[in-house]
Amino acid sequence: MVTELKADASVKPKEEKGGAGDKIEKVFDLTAPQWYLNRELSWLEFNRRVFNESKDERNPLLERLFFFSVIGSNLDEFFMKRIGGLKQQVGAEVKLLSIDGRTPQQQIDESYEVIRDLLGKQQKLELELLALLAGQSIEIVKYAALTEPQRQKMSVYFRDNIYPLLTPQGMDPAHPFPFISNLSLNLLVATRHAEGEHVYLNRIKVPTTGTGIPRFIRVEPDKYLYVLFEEVIANNLAIIFPGMIIESCELFRVTRNAITEKWPEQAVDLLSMIESALRERKFAEIVRLEVDSTMTRQHRGMLAAELGIDSRKDVFTVDGIMGKRDFMEIVAIDKPELHFTPHQPLDHYKLSGDFPSIFHQIREEGPFLLQHPYESFISSVERFLREASTDPKVLGIKMTLYRTSANSQIIQYLLDAAQNGKQVAVVVELMARFDESANIHWATYLEQAGIHVTYGVVGLKTHSKVIFVVRRDYNGLKRYAHIGTGNYHAGTARVYSDLGLLTCDSDIGNDLTEFFNFLTLGYAPARNYKKLLPSPKILKKTLLENIKREIEQHSKGNSGLIQWKTNALTDQDVIAALYQAAQAGVKIDLIVRDSCLLRPGIPGLSENIRVISLVGRFLEHSRIYYFKNNGEDQYFIGSADIMKRNLERRVEVIAPVEAPVLKAQLREIINLQLADRRGAWDMQADGTYMQRKPEPKEEKRSAQELSIERSEKRLAEARRLYKKQYSKKIAKRKNK
């Protein structure tokens, strides 16, 4: 569901009159809401594209189920973050309209319309996928479909493994309605005495988190036969309520608002503030109630009333399996024929030799451009930090930490560095959404090990991805750096497409010294940056200046070209500048993964702009910003998307990529993705997308598949050259 262009006379383009034979030009009011799409609806449109991957028969079956479960996870987050935030605005009677002219309540209502349509299609597809899985001997069955011996086996399993974990809670004047935790599965059980008519209502929380028991319980060890956790409970209620008649057993689930933090002008203790916000989130208002299709209208109304939500709008009926993100357990089944061909990240082709030190390699053969997951995160980024932690010539390490994995080697290398006497400073972002608790843990852990931990600048999230190493080389102090587009998380580095730069460029080193001083001081005296484009002070200003420069150069007869790859494009000022560039004749290619509020292809306004979105086995997460600059090509990579929050309320770092060989690699990435005929979608002016389909003679593989192939070829060629050079060295030694 997308909005259509309005024909309102107050915002339609005006025609400027000219003399006889003069060209009549349309004048667009770039502040008018009709030229912008809605952020919430644009993001939901992205989920339609993900949903299409779960329908696409070209994808292996378990990969289709993966995309299917991603939709469930995405919608959970959408309700927690976006709907939660909009409901807060409604409650606060916020009158400010969105960029496209909608009130908060209009955005909620229209989002609900799209979501209900998407859920209807998702539930229909669920039946198809379950049937296809059954055809591959992977069955998720109702408890009643089990054989009697299997039911007896599950009853024993229930008594031994589940029953001790359950805490049934009555609901009556002596037992008030219980607290329902976010995204937990719950059974509403109605019981009565055999000789009585009074019905008792009870709640049982399904303890799927932290118990070691999967949501999908395997019935037979030699078969892929599963029954749901809640089904096992529901069919053994006689053990929980002995002697009682079970009138009904109905499943429900709630979603709570995740927007609880406050942005103080001054925070005496940021750590305490975040801990308080996490406690508030636990008890935050309900934004959605999901109920199974068998729940009575009476029980739906009772739950809605107790939870304080609108029973007509905020209750969603689920016909299939509730909490579809849990299908990830089934996705993990080891059946290679039902998955994509396994991809093992390779060593970077220039980091695969026998150099004893990565710092020597960066100094002698660098800089290096890393592309994950095609190239290994472990043998590049982790190696960089590992060697820094033990190299006796390394004096100091500084880095930003936004998200990392639970068993992170990154943390261990920082601890090793501190133990080895190096000066280590880490800027931990405590307000990384849904990772606050983990980051508080890491911050405390690092501090206890003697590492200097700071939390960035009050009022700004630190979203940058930077490791900074100071080393005493043979010719004095030298600064080395990794600047990336993705988090320092080995797990996501295998499934997210990201870029990184390993460099010892002296100007970048000087800039990073200033940058980390800004982060650790917490305020911003005047700082001069030669190459880096940090936000919030410099990045947006520079992007707008570079767009203006392309317009000026194009007007002088030099063809202008702007090509960007980003996750989201929502900042109105930047979109307006791109519209102006397009009107001036500058060609603009935008590869935008999800939310894009710019409307391409509008005559007189944006017919020189094309927008594509890529969906594939890897989540496209990298950011590249290219300007033709009258033939003096400029390429930048970094952590920032083109969103108001990234440009004005976050600390981001964008770095130039200047080496010709690295520019050529970025050019290859851009060209591959623009030419993709497998996973690419073309955006239309109304915000909808059309999937590309390869012609018979066109390349049918996606840009991601081709990137795997090209990384393999680069590494093979590098090894071939290395062997050739090594053979020459051996021959020289023999001749001597």
Asked whether residue 716 is domain-assigned, the answer is yes
Write down which residue in 513, 529, 545 finishes a domain.
529
Q: What is the pLDDT of residues 597-606, one digit of tens each?
A: 999 999 999 9
Domain that holds residue 606: 534-700
DSSP-derived 3-state class of residue 690: strand
Q: Say if CB 341 and CB 369 are below 8 A apart.
A: no
Q: Which of 94-98, 144-148, 235-239, 650-654 has the lowest mean pLDDT?
A: 94-98
Please compute the mean of the pLDDT values over residues 427-438 and round it to a whole number.
69
* 210 C-beta neighbours (distance < 10 Å), count: 7
278 in the same domain as 260: yes
Confidence of residue 727 (pLDDT cuts 50, 70, 90): low
What's the confidence (pLDDT) of residue 282?
55
DSSP-derived 3-state class of residue 277: helix
540 in the same domain as 400: no
What's the confidence (pLDDT) of residue 22?
47
What's the confidence (pLDDT) of residue 279?
53
The β-bridge relationship of strands 368-372 and 496-503 is antiparallel
Number of domains in the chain: 4
What's the confidence (pLDDT) of residue 428?
86
Q: Which of 220-234, 314-328, 339-353, 420-434 has the lowest mean pLDDT?
A: 420-434
Please compute the mean of the pLDDT values over residues 109-138 and round it to a whole number.
97
Please compute the mean of the pLDDT values over residues 334-341 and round it to a whole number.
96
pTM of the model: 0.91
403 in the same domain as 514: yes
566 in the same domain as 597: yes
Q: Say if CB 435 and CB 450 are below 8 A apart.
A: no
Asked whether residue 567 is domain-assigned, the answer is yes
Q: At what angle do helices 61-77 and 39-55 cross, to 10 degrees?
A: 160
719 in the same domain as 679: no
Most confident of 22-26, 177-181, 435-439: 177-181
Asked whether residue 61 is domain-assigned, the answer is no
* Contacts for 522 with CB less than 8 Å, ≥ 6 apart: 454, 456, 457, 458
The per-residue DSSP string of 443-499 comes to HHHHHHTT-EEE---TTSEE---EEEEEEEETTEEEEEEEEESS-S-TTGGGTEEEE
Give me 64's structure tokens.
């289709």
Residue 572: its H or E element: helix 572-583
217 in the same domain as 179: yes
What's the confidence (pLDDT) of residue 260?
57
Rounded to whole angstroms, how far apart are CA atoms 165 and 169? 13
Can you give the three-state secondary structure of 23-61, one letter per residue? CCEEECCCCCHHHECCHHHHHHHHHHHHHHHHHCCCCCH
Q: What is the pLDDT of residues 592-634, one digit of tens each?
A: 999 999 999 999 999 999 999 999 999 999 999 999 999 999 9
608 in the same domain as 497: no
DSSP-derived 3-state class of residue 218: strand
What's the confidence (pLDDT) of residue 13?
63
What's the confidence (pLDDT) of residue 438?
72
> Reduced to 3 DSSP states, what percent helix, strand and coil does the chain have, rounded to the nearest 5?
40, 20, 35
Q: What is the pLDDT of residues 183-239, one digit of tens each?
A: 999 999 999 999 888 999 999 999 987 788 999 999 999 999 999 999 999 999 999
Q: What is the pLDDT of residues 557-604, one digit of tens each?
A: 889 999 999 999 999 999 999 999 999 999 999 999 999 999 999 999
pLDDT at 21 over 70: no
pLDDT at 456 over 90: no
pLDDT at 10 over 50: no
Rounded to whole angstroms, how far apart are CA atoms 98 and 100? 5
Please compute the mean of the pLDDT values over residues 483-488 and round it to a whole number.
95
What's the confidence (pLDDT) of residue 465?
96
User: Which tops the pLDDT comparison, 441 or 509?
Assistant: 509
Asked whether residue 207 is domain-assigned, the answer is yes
Q: What is the pLDDT of residues 350-389, one digit of tens each?
A: 887 667 899 999 999 989 999 999 999 999 999 999 999 9
Asked whether residue 323 is domain-assigned, the answer is yes
What's the confidence (pLDDT) of residue 7?
34
Confidence of residue 173 (pLDDT cuts 50, 70, 90): confident
pLDDT at 457 over 90: no
What's the confidence (pLDDT) of residue 31?
95
DSSP-derived 3-state class of residue 507: helix
719 in the same domain as 617: no
pLDDT at 280 over 60: no
pLDDT at 477 over 50: yes
What's the confidence (pLDDT) of residue 20?
46
pLDDT at 461 over 80: yes
Mean pLDDT estimate for the chain? 90
573 in the same domain as 430: no
Residue that the structure tokens 């955005």 belong to: 107
What's the confidence (pLDDT) of residue 5?
38
Please compute the mean of the pLDDT values over residues 312-326 and round it to a whole number.
95
pLDDT at 649 over 80: yes
User: Which tops the pLDDT comparison, 191 or 439?
Assistant: 191
What's the confidence (pLDDT) of residue 448?
86
726 in the same domain as 633: no
Asked whether residue 672 is domain-assigned, the answer is yes
What's the confidence (pLDDT) of residue 583?
97
pLDDT at 399 over 60: yes
What's the confidence (pLDDT) of residue 17?
52
Catalytic amino acids? 463
Confidence of residue 730 (pLDDT cuts 50, 70, 90): low
Write down which residue in 472, 506, 529 finishes a domain.
529
What's the confidence (pLDDT) of residue 6?
38
Residue that the structure tokens 């190239």 belong to: 375
Asked whether residue 525 is domain-assigned, the answer is yes
Q: Which of 52-61, 152-161, 457-466 has the lowest mean pLDDT?
A: 457-466
540 in the same domain as 682: yes
Q: Which of 85-89, 350-354, 668-672 has the lowest mean pLDDT?
A: 350-354
587 in the same domain as 501: no
pLDDT at 705 over 60: yes
Residue 79 has φ and ψ, to the nearest 5°, of: -65, -45
In terms of DSSP H, where are the helices of 283-370?
Answer: 297-307, 328-331, 358-365
Asked whether residue 681 is domain-assigned, the answer is yes
Confidence of residue 498 (pLDDT cuts 50, 70, 90): very high
Q: Percentage of the chain surpassing pLDDT 90? A: 75
Write down which residue in 498, 529, 560 finishes a domain.
529
Residue that the structure tokens 């209807």 belong to: 120
| Total residues belonging to the chain | 736
pLDDT at 525 over 50: yes
pLDDT at 733 over 70: no
Torsion angle, CA of 160/232/321/324, rounded to 10 degrees? Answer: 0
CATH number of the domain where residue 606 is located = 3.30.870.10
